[in-house]
Structure formats: structure tokens, C-alpha cells
Amino acid sequence: MESINTTVIEAQVQEALQTCFDPEIPVDIYELGLIYEIKVDPLGSVTITMTLTSPACPAAQSIPEEVEAKLRAIPGVTDVHVVIVWEPPWDPEKMSEAAKLQLGML
């Protein structure tokens, strides 16, 4: 199997993550700071380490499913693993400046 350009795939993964939104907050999950790590291996397998705003998040099932579906649609991606972690816990400080501005926090 031919190896892929992991840098290109990682950029496409980031773009795809910016189209996934927490249904309770009008900001994408990437800008919210919910994505802790993106790993792309040379064979196209992508592992996303992420969290949610809280363990009781009503979208706890749907957000990871949406992430997986959108990443599988990227050409060159052969497999997707979404790992949900609770440490470190998410807090508003993890949001990008753009997200804070959009939510009126700056």
C-alpha cells in the first residue's frame, strides 16, 4: 500500500472538524478546543483524541459519530478512531480567540 501525505490529510481533517458543531454552542468543536490531538499515520489511519464540554453532554453519542463519518469521507483516509477522554477536562480557556469572540467572551 502506498503511503499518503500526512500533512495534507491532517489539514483536511482539521477543516472537516471545523464543520462539526456542538448543538448547544454555535461554535465548531475544533475552535471550542474539544480536539486534543490529531494523528495521521502514513497508511491513512486517523486517530482523534477529543473531549466533550461535559460527561453529561446530550450530544455525547452524536458528535463522535459525526466526526468519524466526516473524516471517513476524506480521500486517503483508510480508518478513523475517535477517542473520548475526560482528562484534562474541557474548560472555556481551551477555546480559540475566534470562538471566544463569537460567544462574546472577549
| Domain with 73 in it | 6-102
Q: What is the reported pLDDT for 86?
A: 95
Sign of CA dihedral 49, 45, 80, 74: positive
Contact 99, 17 (CB under 8 A): no
- Phi/psi region, residue 48 (left: phi>0; alpha: psi -120 to 50; beta: rest), is beta
Q: What is the reported pLDDT for 23?
A: 84
User: At 31, which CATH number?
Assistant: 3.30.300.130
Domain count, the chain: 1
Q: Is residue 1 domain-resident? A: no
What are the residue ranges in the chain where pLDDT is below 50? Answer: none
Which pTM does this prediction carry? 0.92
The per-residue b/e assignment along 46-70, b for 16 or more CB within 10 angstroms, e otherwise, is bebebbbbeeebebeeebbebbbeb
